Structure 1
Amino acid sequence: MTDTRYAFEQPGVFARGWHIVALSQELPLGGVKALNYFNEECVLFRGEDGKAVILDAYCPHLGAHLAGTGSRVVGNTIRCPFHGWQFDCTGSCTAIPYASKIPDRARNALRVWPIVEKNGFIAIWYDREGGDPNWDLPEIPEWNQGEWGDWRFNRTIIKSHGREIIENIVDAGHFPSVHGGIPLQFDNVFTPYSVSQESRIQPDINLPIIQPRGIDFDINAARQERGAMEADGWGVATYHGPSVMYYYTTLKGPEFSYASWWLNYHTPINNEEVELVSGVIVASLTDEPLPKEFYDTYPISAIAAFGSDVEVWETKKYRNDPILCDGDGPINKLRKWYERFYLPRSQEAWEEPARVISSVRDV
């Protein structure tokens, strides 16, 4: 019998909260997209009014997939490719091309998923109890501002669980081994629906980085060629709920100084796979523009940083009672915070906001 210490270790249970399922740029007017998350199948479409809608995927008539071959958007409805039934944003059938009357049971026949569209992404609210959202994802002020350049995204499906990924937010000890950096400051701040990492990491080219997949050059050789960086880097990474992380970071160096926003999210497909997406935008911190090529090269290196973690996540084994040392960060506190998204709302633990200062602080 498997010993489950936390609610998130139970099979078939997914975290309550906001999860990103698509990028706005992937869904033009009249666009249709099949979604497969949380062991559920849904259809995402955008009507002529510009509003994105997510419904359960299978037509209540005879079960055709509403994102199947031949499906299309008509006005503000999705048209089933099998018999042409049309469904609106309430999940109700509004038209049947060969019927004189729409059956009463076709009203609100499809589940409508709560969604929000902001910052260039579309997020769905998942709650196995069917409850309404009780917290929001914040805006990124610099989103879609010209001086920040374009978002660069990388998407991959990995064999892992969100519990592995989210622990990075408190894990100061992995930076030297995985990312080749020394934490000079590493603080964590917990609130009921967010956890933040405030950090200063000093890169050290004498510490090798785990080579991430998808990078067609030797990342450690490139670091050696570039040489040591004399720069002051600082950042705040925040998980807003169980799977969406915003990271704002600045770096001031002798050649140029810049700020960047990272958008990282992991959305569960099933209990063994998650979709992992990383996006980056960057801008100069001074009146001097960044070199044009920097807008192309920086996102690659930023996304590669997450790729180094993937190499570990896909091969590690989860320990529900780990042996920890005093420099590991508040991993057990993070697990209790994360568990709240898997418990029934009536059992949600509530703690006052707390700051945890790492023992590796040197400022």
Structure 2
Amino acid sequence: MPLPYPSGWFCLALSREVPAGAVVNRRFMGRDVVLYRTRGGVLRVVDAHCPHLGAHLGAGGVVDGEHLVCPFHRFAFDVEGSCVKVPGGAPPRATLAQFTVRERSKIIYVWHGHDAAPPAWEPSELPDDRFAPAASWSTLLASHPQEVMESFVDYQHQPIVHNVSLHEVTPPVDEGPLLRISFSAAIRLSVRLATITVEQGLVLSGLGLASGEVTLHQVGMTLGVVLMATPVGPWQTHLRVAVVTEAASRADSPRLRKAASMSLSAVAGQALVRTIAHQMGQDARIWNRKRYEPNPQLTPGESAIGQYRRWVRQFYPPDTWPTGTS
């Protein structure tokens, strides 16, 4: 690959995709992993293969109470990854490899660190657990998370590819593993609404997660948006977009007003996801065929791309980070 896998937090699923008792398969950085949730609600992400004889835990494995049970010899593993039960005799000292997991706003993230390093920072700027995805969309790209996230600071392509008039409000602000950007745009939502003005503050938490709030001025509403780029294999990225809204209105709101507010936010959320999905589809036609250019010949108006390229270096091992603008 012209770019290696980066360190950071990456989305593997929405919470509703992993209910209690479920065992779910995913690809992550060229390997199979399994997500499961115990009957008591404990969420875990583990290596897909049993350390006994290598059976795939996502091909017939089941949750039995608080244990994940292998389909081959019924070895049972607890939430710490230890083998605690076998059909006969004492269990061996077998351990199931686990990933560090976070569940925020009904979205599941795992950590990847080089040389198995523990999390060096936390995913930031995410709405709290009062919020949940109101609408979502995903696609598979022949690209890399660095390329996907770079589009947020590539302001010049917006009017050309998306026919969107976009203006940088403030230059990107580098805060360690976070990169803050702010812009305004005039867009048309994919419903029967006139063109509306959108202001968005966006925070890139590493190369796997961009989150922020979108203010729709004409309808007087603010929605949370989360864009997640997860490497599933060499130069393959699973891109997810979710619009998150508050699960309930104020406790003192009348019931009908609460229902109307939730309905309006859901409609606006679905419209915003369709709009973002349309634009990402336009980008995907380019991402899926473009070549990574390590030393781009930037114009004076593209300084944000140069700043972004310098910022991303921290997510690669020092001796392998990609060359780029300095």
TM-score w.r.t. structure 1 length?
Answer: 0.77
Given that residues 87 and 93 in structure 1 are in contact (C-alpha distance below 8 angstroms), is that contact kept between their aligned partners in structure 2? Answer: yes
* Structure 1 residues 139 and 239: alpha-carbon distance in aligned structure 2, compared to 1, 3 A threshold: closer
* 1:201 maps to amino acid: A
Question: What are structure 2's unaligned runs of at least 5 residues?
Answer: 250-256, 322-326
Given that residues 170 and 329 in structure 1 are in contact (C-alpha distance below 8 angstroms), is that contact kept between their aligned partners in structure 2? Answer: no
Give the aligned partner of residue 31 of structure 1: 22
Q: 1:271 aligns with which of 203, 218, 234?
A: 234
Coordinate RMSD, CA, aligned: 2.7
Given that residues 114 and 317 in structure 2 are in contact (C-alpha distance below 8 angstroms), is that contact kept between their aligned partners in structure 1? Answer: no
Given that residues 22 and 122 in structure 1 are in contact (C-alpha distance below 8 angstroms), is that contact kept between their aligned partners in structure 2? Answer: yes
Aligned-pair distance for 1:91? 1.8
Given that residues 23 and 35 in structure 2 are in contact (C-alpha distance below 8 angstroms), is that contact kept between their aligned partners in structure 1? Answer: yes
Give CA deviations for 1:135-181 in whole Å, capped at 9, x if unaligned.
Answer: 11136336545xxx852111211111112111112111111112222
Give the aligned partner of residue 356 of structure 1: none
Give CA deviations for 1:84-104 in whole Å, capped at 9, x if unaligned.
Answer: 00011222111001x21222x
Q: 1:248 aligns with which of 197, 213, 233?
A: 213
Aligned-pair distance for 1:197? 1.4
Aligned-pair distance for 1:296? 4.0
Aligned-pair distance for 1:342? 0.9
Give the aligned partner of residue 253 of structure 2: none
Aligned-pair distance for 1:202? 3.0
- Does 2:73 match 1:83? yes
* Structure 1 residues 142 and 89: alpha-carbon distance in aligned structure 2, compared to 1, 3 A threshold: closer
* 1:100 maps to amino acid: G
* 1:153 maps to amino acid: S
Give the aligned partner of residue 2 of structure 2: 9
Give CA deviations for 1:298-327 in whole Å, capped at 9, x if unaligned.
Answer: 432233232222122112121111111111
Please give the alpha-carbon distance, in whole angstroms, between the structure 1 residues aligned to 2:66 and 2:40: 7
Give the aligned partner of residue 259 of structure 1: 222
* Structure 1 residues 250 and 85: alpha-carbon distance in aligned structure 2, compared to 1, 3 A threshold: same
Please give the alpha-carbon distance, in whole angstroms, between the structure 2 residues aligned to 1:46 and 1:281: 22
Greater share of strand: 2
Q: 2:202 aligns with which of 219, 234, 237?
A: 237
Give the aligned partner of residue 322 of structure 1: 296
- Does 2:106 match 1:117? no
Q: 2:141 aligns with which of 141, 150, 158?
A: 158
Aligned-pair distance for 1:185? 2.9
Give CA deviations for 1:11-30 in whole Å, capped at 9, x if unaligned.
Answer: xx311111111111001111
SS at match of 2:280: helix
Q: 2:184 aligns with which of 200, 211, 214?
A: 200
Give the aligned partner of residue 175 of structure 1: 158
* Structure 1 residues 226 and 16: alpha-carbon distance in aligned structure 2, compared to 1, 3 A threshold: closer
Identity of aligned residues (%): 26
Q: 1:308 aligns with which of 278, 282, 302?
A: 282
Please give the alpha-carbon distance, in whole angstroms, between the structure 1 residues aligned to 2:245 and 2:180: 21
* 1:251 maps to amino acid: L
Given that residues 116 and 124 in structure 1 are in contact (C-alpha distance below 8 angstroms), is that contact kept between their aligned partners in structure 2? Answer: yes
Given that residues 169 and 196 in structure 1 are in contact (C-alpha distance below 8 angstroms), is that contact kept between their aligned partners in structure 2? Answer: no
Residue correspondences, number = 307
Please give the alpha-carbon distance, in whole angstroms, between the structure 1 residues aligned to 2:168 and 2:114: 38
Please give the alpha-carbon distance, in whole angstroms, between the structure 2 residues aligned to 1:170 and 1:297: 24
* Structure 1 residues 139 and 52: alpha-carbon distance in aligned structure 2, compared to 1, 3 A threshold: farther
